[in-house]
Structure formats: structure tokens, C-alpha cells
Chain A
Amino acid sequence: MSFSEKNKAMTELLYQLADDDFIHAHRGSEWLGLAPHIEEDVAFSSINQDTMGHAAMYYKLLEDLGEGKADDLSHRRKPEQYRNAIILEERNGSGEYLESPQYDWAFTVIRHFFYDVSKKIRLESLKQSSYEPLSEAARKILTEQYYHLMHWEVWFKQLMTSTAKARKKMEAAIFKVWDDFGGVLTLGPYGDEMVKAGLIEDEEVLKTRFTERMQKYFQSVDFKLVTEPQMKRGDGRAGVHTPDLEHALSTLSEVYVSDAEAAGW
């Protein structure tokens, strides 16, 4: 494969990794001060901070590849240039983060748990990546990922096996996330090139690992789901997004783009 093909595959993959973590960390951080208890607020904000740090590492790799400044890449692109999965951009619930947010903790637990299960599988594969800076980053991130996954696994198991009310909310959240979780598992339009370049394993291999692992988790809480994760609202890897992303990006970049003359912040 030509250099430019390989380069394209590499940057596309890095944008997926960076944008997934960037928007996911943002959605998590909107919970700040609103989590079910103070201990969770402390733990959750630590996880969000780590995840934002992972995004920053990937944006830096893109910067090193000549894509532009990491801050511009994260704050100045148009929504259709983002490569994150649609389910990650979805609001935490109705309302604004500052005004009467009606956030759904069950949805958050499920989205974070599923995402962290798949993120770990993806990182394990990236450890073998042919692109050395990426495999190095994956190794670093994995050390933190262990704790994140454990955190959400505990929430998942506890809320799935406590009151009937909690179970009902959790099951509803599982179905909702499952409908679009295929968007996290896909490598998008350049997936084949990524695999050919040895950057990451095949999408189907990763997806099978994910569903097998999820089946074990489901079994442990006496839950069954026979369908595959879907991509009902479209492929974020191909630039398809919902108004939720645009809304989030305008908040995230509000200050950064407010003064075109500013050399630093």
C-alpha cells in the first residue's frame, strides 16, 4: 500500500480514538457535582480526567503527523469532521448541564461500562500496532483502563442485582445503548486499510471478542441479549452525527474560538 494510503488509514484511526475519548470524557464531566453520591463524584471526575488525557495523547500523535495543532484539532473542526461513534455524543439526559439537568445514571453506567469493555479490547489490539507511537500510547493508557473498567463493572453488577426499579432502568439503558453501540465497534470506511497496514486487528475479530465478553457479563447477572449491537443512527466514523455533537462542540470550543487574536490561553 502507498505511503499516502497508509497515512490516511493512520490518521483516520487516530481521529476515531481521539474523538471517542474526547466526547466521552466531556459527557462524563457534565455529571460533575450531580453524581448519586459524593464519593462517586470524586471517582467519576478522576476517570473523566484520565479519559480527557487519553484524548490529548491521541491529538498529540495527530499533531506529530502534521495534522495541525492538537488544540485546533480538538476545538476547531466542524462536526462532520469528527470520527467518534454516535452513541458517545448523546446527551446524558434532557436539560442543560447548568440548568435542570435530568440526567440518567443507568444510561451513564451502561454507556461507560460498554465503552470501557470495548476500549480495553481495542487497546489490547493496539499494543501490537505497527505504528510504534500508537502501541506505546496504548500500553500507557491500558494501565489506567484496568481501574476504569473495574469501576463500571461494579456499578453494572450492583444495579443489575439490587431493586426491581434499578433493574428496569438498567435494562432499558442496555437496549438503548445496544441500538447504537455498533458505531463504537466499527472501524469505519477505512477499516480494511487500517488492518492491511497492521495498525489494528480486523473489526470482526474485535467485535466477536466484545460480544463474547459481554455475554459473560450478562450471564453473571442473569440477563440475555441475542441480537448483535446495531448502528441505527448511522456511522460516526464516516462523519454522520446528531445535533447533540454540534451542541457539545459549541460549548467545548466557546472560549477557545472567542478571540481570534489570542495567542495563548
Chain B
Amino acid sequence: MIEQLTFDVLNDEQKYQHFMERINRGEKIEADDWMPDDYRQALIRLISMHGISEIMGALPEKEWVPKAPTLNRKLAIMAKVQDEMGHGQLLLRVAEDLMKPLGKNRDNIMQDLFSKRLKFHNVFHMPSPTWGDAAVIAWLVDGAAILSQTMMLDTSYGPYGRALKRICQEESFHAKHGESLVLSLAEGTDKQKQMLQEAVNRWWDALLMFFGPKSKNETGHSNVDKNIKYKLRTKTNEQLRQEFLTKYVPKMKLIGLDIPDKTIRFDEDKQEWIYKEPDWNEFKKIVSGNGPKTNERLHLRQSSYEQNEWVREALGHISSAAVG
């Protein structure tokens, strides 16, 4: 109580200093703690994008839920997509708490999504035309997601860290599911192998892009420095991409896949992967809402949201009656 009183008399600059000291000591910030607007905005941007990406990510996979070849594959992919939805919900709850003092709620998140103000991950703008794509998404896209989410487990914002902890546990199951899908195709008929290789070819650039550009030189804008300053994250985009290549290039080769980049090699002196840069202009185009499947998926989401408005209205009627 006394501490709270002393804190209240501080001016904003002193509060900011106190806040940064907490961050630098490795303390966790909680939803009701004082935080600078800049930090709050960075969190809202990061977490609502993460949350909505999980939800939009369900759409390319949804295409393969009914088509999953066997009963067991159907059950596994249903479980996986349900997890992704659950992650989306968990994260949106965290974002909603942060937005509350600004007078905003979930409807604002949805409207920002539909107007393309709120961006979602580049990979979820891409088509997934075959079962091979479902396998590659589960193995490599989820594999990439695990790396970037694990890096943020120690994030300075407590509620986000706790959500990520649960998410990472489930993601590791997804990666196993993905590995199993990929192995079945890799050990299968020539047709199955070809289906897998073609999917890898389709996804390679998107996977490199997944981690974002090396610096703002590539796209003219980046939030990485700020997010590192606030200890929301601990590694750069390029560090994560290097980790990804180290983890997956050998595995891909082992199961007989061609890496769709003839120039890729590991430089022993520099201890880093040298690879062909993806087209960052393309990346910018995709994440700003002009990817191959962006409009179709947004339309799917938006039209169902609008069609079900009567349901939300009915539920609103019930909860206001209960309060009244």
C-alpha cells in the first residue's frame, strides 16, 4: 500500500524510469501495472497480430480437415486446428485486457482485421492446394512458430508469457503430428513423394519470410528493436531464421527432400547459413493484405461474422437481461 502511494506521486518520467528498471531486472509486468503507452501499444500490436494469425491460420488447414485421408489423420488434424483456435482465443483475451483502458474490445480487433489494419502472418495468406501442403504446414510452419514462440517465453509481459507457455506445449505435439504426416509421404509412393516435394517448393520462400526481414533496410519498417528494448523478445529475426535452417535443412535432406535453393550452404567460418533472400517486396505486399489468398480468407471470416450477427445479438440480449 505504502509502495503504491509513493509510486502514485511520481511524474511520468520517473514512472517510466521505474518501469524500465523493472524490465531490466527481468521482472514481469502484469495487466494492472503502470506501463508506458508505447509499451502497451507494442504489446497490443504484437499479441493481437499473434492471436489473429492463429485464427486465420485455421482457415488454410480447415480445407484439409474433411479431406484428411484416414480416420486417425482426421482426428489428429481436427485436434490440431482446435488447438490453434484455442491459442487464438487465449491470446485475444490477453490483448483485450490491454485494450480495455483504451475503450476497445474484440469487435475492434475483428473490424481492424477486416479493414486490413490488423495484419496476420505471411504464411496464412498462402494457398494450400494439396494434402502435401497440410503436411508441410504442420511440420515446417509450426516448427518455425515454435522457434519464435519459444524465444518469447521469457517475455517481460507476464500474461503473454503464461499464454505462450501453454501454446508451446501444444505446438510441440503439432510438430510431431507434422513430422508423422511428412514421413508417411516421404516413405510413400512416387506420387506421394512428389506431392510433398511440390508443397515444400511452394512453401520455401514463405518459410524464410516467416521470421521477417533482417533489418528495416529490407522493408523500410521494423518493430524488432523496440520489442528487444522492452524485452518482449530476445532474438533478432535473422537469429531465428538461422536456427530454423540449422534445425530443419538436415532433417529435410535426410528424408530425401530437395531444398528449393541450390545456393544454400553452411559457412563454417562465419558459422551461419548463406541462402538466397526471398523477395522482401513480395513479403511487404503479402502482409499488407495483398497475398494470393488474403481476400478470399478475409471474406470467409467476414461473411460468417456478419451472417451470425443475429446470434451475437441474441446472446447480448440475454446477458443484458441477466445484468438488468
Contact = CB atoms under 8 A, between A and B. Distances in A.
Contact of A259 (B62, B189, B318): B189
Nearest to B62: A32
A195 interface: no
Contacts of B86: 42
Q: Which of A45, A98, A254 is the most central at the interface, judged by chain B CB atoms within 10 Å of its CB? A: A45
A59 B78 CA distance: 18
B308 A255 contact: no
A29 to B, nearest CB: 5
A265 B184 contact: yes
Contact of A49 (B63, B79, B191, B304): B79
Contacts of B66: 26, 29-30, 97, 248, 251-252
Interface in B75-113: 75, 78-79, 81-82, 85-86, 88-89, 92
B18 interface: no
Interface residues of B, number: 49
Contact of A165 (B58, B63, B82, B313): B313
Given A45-B85, A52-B75, A252-B66, A263 B300 contact: no
B270 to A, nearest CB: 41
A256 B304 CA distance: 30
Interface residues of A, number: 54
Q: Which of A33, A97, A162 is the most central at the interface, judged by chain B CB atoms within 10 Å of its CB? A: A33
Contacts, number: 144
A145 interface: no
B315 interface: yes
Nearest to A168: B310
A191 interface: no
B75 A56 contact: yes
Interface of A: 26, 29-30, 32-39, 41-42, 45-46, 48-49, 52-53, 55-56, 59, 70-71, 74-75, 97-103, 105, 158-159, 161-163, 165-166, 169, 248, 251-252, 254-256, 259, 261-265
Given A256-B70, A261-B189, A262-B188, 7 more contacts: A33-B304, A42-B86, A49-B75, A71-B69, A163-B314, A259-B188, A265-B184
Interface of B: 55, 58-59, 62-63, 65-75, 78-79, 81-82, 85-86, 88-89, 92, 131, 184-185, 187-189, 191-192, 296, 299-301, 303-304, 307-308, 310-315, 317-318
